[in-house]
Amino acid sequence: MQLAKPTWWKTLIQYLSWLVASLLAILDALLLREALISFLTWNQVRIQEAQRAQGLIPEKIQSGFTTEAIAQGALFVLGIVVIGVVIWVEYYFRKGAAIGMLFKRIGIVIGVEVGLVALSVILQMIFG
């Protein structure tokens, strides 16, 4: 494909789209973490109910620490992933503008990120 210098308005759209995609990536990470916390809480409640059904006394203190440690670890890992995604999306949009595929690439990235938001919300509703 022919590389061409994009016009000023395409460059403006490229960077505004990159900003929106970056903010959506952060939102995705936070919502995925919340979905993970909802799942862990649901699972812990299920385990405690099974222990009560067997006549055992469930351990509540340990489960709180475990859930918090997993949530903080997930936030760290998702933060690193978000940084990588933000850098990659800028490159992806810039190359898309150069070959005339900017709007298609914007649609793909924003579509995937909105899909992740929807998935996270659905998972929170299921396990919440």
- Please write the tens of the pLDDT for every residue from 82-124: 999 999 999 999 999 989 899 999 999 999 999 999 999 999 9
- The domain total for the chain is 1
Mean pLDDT of all residues in 30-55: 88
List the single range of 18-27, 65-74, 84-93, 102-111 with lowest mean pLDDT: 65-74
The pLDDT > 70 percentage for the chain reads: 91
Q: Which two tokens stand for residue 90?
A: 């800028």
Q: For residue 88, which of 65, 113, 66 has the smallest C-alpha distance?
A: 113
Q: Which two tokens stand for residue 75?
A: 């936030």
User: Is residue 29 in a domain?
Assistant: no
User: Is residue 86 in a domain?
Assistant: yes
Confidence of residue 8 (pLDDT cuts 50, 70, 90): confident
Query: In whole angstroms, what is the distance from residue 71 CA to residue 107 CA?
Result: 31
Confidence of residue 1 (pLDDT cuts 50, 70, 90): low
Mean pLDDT of all residues belonging to the chain: 89
Q: Please give the residue range of the domain that contains residue 76.
A: 39-127
User: Is residue 117 in a domain?
Assistant: yes
User: Is residue 67 in a domain?
Assistant: yes
User: Is residue 33 in a domain?
Assistant: no
Query: In whole angstroms, what is the distance from residue 123 CA to residue 34 CA?
Result: 9
Residue 26, amino acid:
I
pTM for the structure as a whole: 0.85
User: Is residue 106 in a domain?
Assistant: yes
User: Is residue 60 in a domain?
Assistant: yes
User: Is residue 12 in a domain?
Assistant: no
What pLDDT is attached to residue 56?
77
